[in-house]
Structure formats: structure tokens, C-alpha cells
């Protein structure tokens, strides 16, 4: 049986695993990333970096710290577009204003709605390869995880002083953390939206996205359904006043662990379960784990 060792082994090369690997590598740790491929849900074409969530305007926990960490991190690797417009209906604005009261989240109100000035969005296509550049990365499929060892499908053992699970939705069965799996789709539009807009559904770059399907208790791969396409296009009609032309679609599965994104497991740590806010929180939680590792 072949063997590989490293001080820190990270299982997963999505936004969680690669951001962490980059932060640890830059701090001088010896890191090995093991993954079947570069990103799974993290290949979502556009990721919003949005501190004010949903149609109720819930301010994300630790939003100020997460914004600081993401603006310090992503622009080193890719272009990050600044600003998101939330076209909040008049009758809900007072409630949203109250939620933002005494929060340090730069914003302004206009007739159109709420402008979140240091929210933003990015395209993932170049981000993942750039994060991976210069890292030690092994492309292997992991069949099981026992103690501090990973066993590959072809029988190799990979062991670590510290093992970090960052395998997202598709690898979640390996660590048995429970959680919810939410399939979803993004439609790729012919039109490019330079300014991100989000209420019900969102548009940014060449993407139209939103969350329509219910949560599931286990992971299974997803393919875009006709009902999702119709839901997204009717949402776009409300948001933009028209249905944009669609050229293709992307499908993936979100994995949610209700905010307990960093937790100790017998092998080391699990950094996962960010739901729709993985790109928002990944830099902050990578720094948190760096601190814990000392
Ligand atoms: C429709 C939709 C829209 C979204 N929009 C946004 C958004 O606007 N903003 C945002 O922040 N987030 C968004 N998300 C969520 C985001 O895409 C995910 O939460 C995030 O990408 C998860 O990243 P991850 O690194 O945890 O996992 P993934 O990107 O899924 O990566 C998992 C990694 O683990 C590896 N792996 C898993 N199992 C194994 C195994 N057995 N062996 C070897 N390797 C394995 C995979 O190969 C991969 O490298 C959206 C998700 C969906 C579905």
C-alpha cells in the first residue's frame, strides 16, 4: 500500500479547502490538499458576497469581520466587483433599517432600494486555479476516513498530524456531521449584469440564481429541473421587469450546518456547511482555524 504524509492534510479543494490551504501555506505550514477535483459546489459561476440575507434582510452573524477578511483576501487572486443593490419593497424598509441599526455595514438607501457598498460578487472560474497555484495537491478519490488517515479508492493511505475535512456536500458522508443538502441551479444569461441585484432571485455577471428547491437529508447530485428554470425566470421578471435570454445552466448542491462551520472532529477539524454563504465566510474561518492551529 502506498503512503503519503503531511503535517496538515485538507480533504477538499473547493472554496473552503483552498482558502484554508492558502492561508496555512502562507503562514508557513506544510499542507497537502487531497481532492477528487478542483471545486464542486464552488464551481458556481458567480458567488455573491452578501452580508444582508434573504427577503427579510437578516444581517449575517459576524458580517463585519467576514467582510474585512474577504476584502483582504480575494482581490489578491481575482477581480471582486463591489456593491449589491437590494430592491426592498417600500413597506419592508423600516424593518430592514432597524436590522442594520448599529451594525458597521456601509450602506445607503435610494428610491431603488438598499445599496450595500462593500458587499460584492466574483466569478469563480479563475479563482480556484489561482488559489491552488503553488500548493501541494493530490487528485485522489477518498473512499474512507479513519482516525487521522484517509484511504483512497485505489488503496493508498494518506495520514496527517492534523486532518481537516473541507469536502463540502459530496464528501459529507465521510465525516457523518448531519446537516441539510439543498440542490439548486444558476442560469447563464446572454446579457451581462455589471451591477449585482438581489431580491427573491439575483443577477450578477452572466448569472441568474436563487434558492427554490427544498432541503434534503442526504446528498445526491443535482440536475437543473424545468420547474427551477421557470421559477428563476419569473423571479427575474419581478426583479428586472423582463425575462433574460438563457444560454445554459449550472447545477449544484449547498450543504448547511447551521452556522457551526468550524468544529472539532476526532481527526482534527471540519470546515464546512456554509450553505449559500461559503464565499462570504471562507476567508474569516480560514483565519480562525489558523489561530487555533497556532
Ligand atoms: C445554486 C447555488 C448558488 C450558490 N450561490 C452562492 C453564492 O452566491 N455565494 C456563496 O458564497 N455561495 C453560494 N453557493 C454555495 C457555495 O457554492 C457552496 O457552499 C460552496 O462552494 C461549498 O464549498 P466547499 O469548499 O465547502 O465544497 P465544494 O466546492 O463542494 O468542494 C468539495 C471538495 O471536496 C472534494 N471531495 C468531496 N468528496 C470527496 C472524496 N470522496 N474524495 C476526494 N475528494 C472529495 C471535491 O472534489 C471538492 O474538491 C451556491 C450554491 C448553489 C448550489
Q: Which protein residue's CA is at the shortest distance from atom 35 of ligand 1?
A: 12
Does the C-beta of 184 come closer than 6 Å to ligand 1?
A: yes
What is the structure's pLDDT at 5?
A: 77
pLDDT value at 293 more than 70: yes
Q: What is the pTM of this model?
A: 0.97
- In which band, very low, low, confident or very high, does the pLDDT at 123 lie, cut at 50, 70 and 90? very high
Does the C-beta of 167 come closer than 6 Å to ligand 1?
A: yes
Does the C-beta of 67 come closer than 6 Å to ligand 1?
A: no
If you measure from the C-alpha of residue 157 to the centroid of ligand 1, how many angstroms do you get, rounded to a whole number? 24
- In which band, very low, low, confident or very high, does the pLDDT at 247 lie, cut at 50, 70 and 90? very high
pLDDT value at 3 more than 80: no
Does the C-beta of 14 come closer than 6 Å to ligand 1?
A: yes
Question: Among the atoms of ligand 1, which is closest to the Cα of residue 140?
Answer: 43
Give the tens place of pLDDT for each residue, 26-53: 999 999 999 999 999 999 999 999 999 9
If you measure from the C-alpha of residue 47 to the centroid of ligand 1, how many angstroms do you get, rounded to a whole number? 11
Span between the terminal Cα atoms of the chain, in Å: 33
Quote the cell numbers at residue 52. 444582508
Does the C-beta of 41 come closer than 6 Å to ligand 1?
A: yes
Quote the cell numbers at residue 106. 456601509
Q: Which residue has the cell 477578511?
A: 69
Question: Among the atoms of ligand 1, which is closest to the Cα of residue 279?
Answer: 11
What is the structure's pLDDT at 294?
A: 83
Question: Among the atoms of ligand 1, which is closest to the Cα of residue 35?
Answer: 44
Query: Contact at 8 Å (CB) between 9 and 158?
Result: yes
What is the arithmetic mean of pLDDT over 240-248?
Answer: 98
**Best residue for ligand 1 mutational test, from 10, 14, 207 (most atoms within 8 Å of Cβ):** 14
Does the C-beta of 124 come closer than 6 Å to ligand 1?
A: no
Share of the chain above pLDDT 90, in %: 93
What is the structure's pLDDT at 191?
A: 98
pLDDT value at 258 more than 90: no
What is the structure's pLDDT at 221?
A: 97
Q: Cα–Cα distance between 92 and 73 in angstroms, integer? A: 34
Give the tens place of pLDDT for each residue, 194-233: 999 999 999 999 999 999 999 999 999 999 999 999 999 9
Does the C-beta of 131 come closer than 6 Å to ligand 1?
A: no
What is the structure's pLDDT at 1?
A: 58
List the domains of the chain with CATH numbers: 3-45+124-177+257-293 (3.50.50.60), 180-256 (3.30.9.10)
If you measure from the C-alpha of residue 4 to the centroid of ligand 1, how many angstroms do you get, rounded to a whole number? 25
Residue 77: name the closest of 40, 120, 124 by CA: 124
Q: Which protein residue's CA is at the shortest distance from atom 33 of ligand 1?
A: 12
Query: Contact at 8 Å (CB) between 287 and 69?
Result: yes
According to the 3-state scheme, what is the secondary structure of the chain?
CCEEEEEEEEECCCHHHHHHHHHHHHCCCCEEEEECCCCCHHHCCEEEECCEECCCCEECCCHHHHHHHHHHHHHHCCCEEEEEEECCCHHHHHHHHHHHCCCCCCEEEECCEEEEEEEEEEECCCHHHHHHCCCEEEECCEEEEECCEEEECCCCEEEEEEEEECCCCCCHHHCCCCCEEEEEEEEEEEEEEEEEEEECEEEEEEEEECCCCCCECCCCCCCCCHHHHHHHHHHHHHHHCCCCCEEEEEEEEEEECCCCCEEEECCEEEECCEHHHHHHHHHHHHHHHHHHHC
What is the structure's pLDDT at 230?
A: 98
User: 110-114 long-range CB contacts below 8 Å, 24 or more apart?
Assistant: 112/85, 112/87, 113/85, 113/86, 113/87, 113/88, 113/199, 114/52, 114/57, 114/85, 114/86, 114/88
Amino acid at each position: 500500500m502506498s503512503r503519503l504524509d503531511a503535517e496538515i492534510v485538507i480533504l477538499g479543494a473547493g472554496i473552503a479547502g483552498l482558502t484554508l490551504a492558502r492561508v496555512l501555506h502562507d503562514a508557513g505550514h506544510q499542507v497537502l490538499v487531497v481532492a477528487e477535483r478542483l471545486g464542486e459546489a464552488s464551481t458556481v459561476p458567480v458567488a455573491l458576497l452578501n452580508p444582508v440575507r434573504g427577503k427579510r434582510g437578516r444581517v449575517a452573524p459576524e458580517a463585519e469581520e467576514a467582510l474585512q477578511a474577504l476584502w483582504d483576501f480575494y482581490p489578491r487572486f481575482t477581480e471582486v466587483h463591489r456593491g449589491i443593490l437590494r430592491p426592498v419593497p417600500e413597506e419592508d424598509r423600516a424593518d430592514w433599517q432597524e436590522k442594520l441599526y448599529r451594525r458597521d455595514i456601509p450602506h445607503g438607501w435610494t428610491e431603488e432600494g438598499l445599496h450595500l457598498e462593500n458587499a460584492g460578487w466574483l466569478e469563480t472560474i479563475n479563482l480556484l486555479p489561482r488559489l491552488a497555484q503553488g500548493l501541494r495537491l493530490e487528485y485522489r478519490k477518498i473512499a474512507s476516513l479513519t482516525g487521522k488517515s484517509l484511504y483512497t479508492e485505489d488503496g493508498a493511505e494518506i495520514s496527517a498530524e492534523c486532518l481537516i475535512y473541507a469536502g463540502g456536500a459530496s464528501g459529507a458522508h465521510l465525516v457523518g456531521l448531519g446537516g441539510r443538502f439543498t440542490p439548486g441551479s444558476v442560469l447563464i444569461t446572454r446579457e451581462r449584469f455589471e451591477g449585482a441585484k438581489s431580491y427573491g432571485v439575483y443577477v450578477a455577471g452572466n448569472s441568474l440564481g436563487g434558492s427554490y428547491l427544498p432541503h434534503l437529508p442526504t446528498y445526491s447530485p443535482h440536475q437543473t429541473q424545468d420547474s427551477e428554470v421557470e421559477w428563476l425566470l419569473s423571479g427575474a421578471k419581478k426583479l428586472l421587469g423582463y425575462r433574460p435570454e438563457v444560454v445554459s445552466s449550472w447545477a449544484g448542491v449547498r450543504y448547511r450546518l447551521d452556522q457551526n462551520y468550524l468544529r472539532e472532529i476526532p481527526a482534527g477539524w471540519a470546515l464546512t456547511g456554509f450553505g449559500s454563504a461559503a464565499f462570504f465566510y471562507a476567508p474569516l474561518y480560514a483565519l480562525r482555524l489558523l489561530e487555533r492551529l497556532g
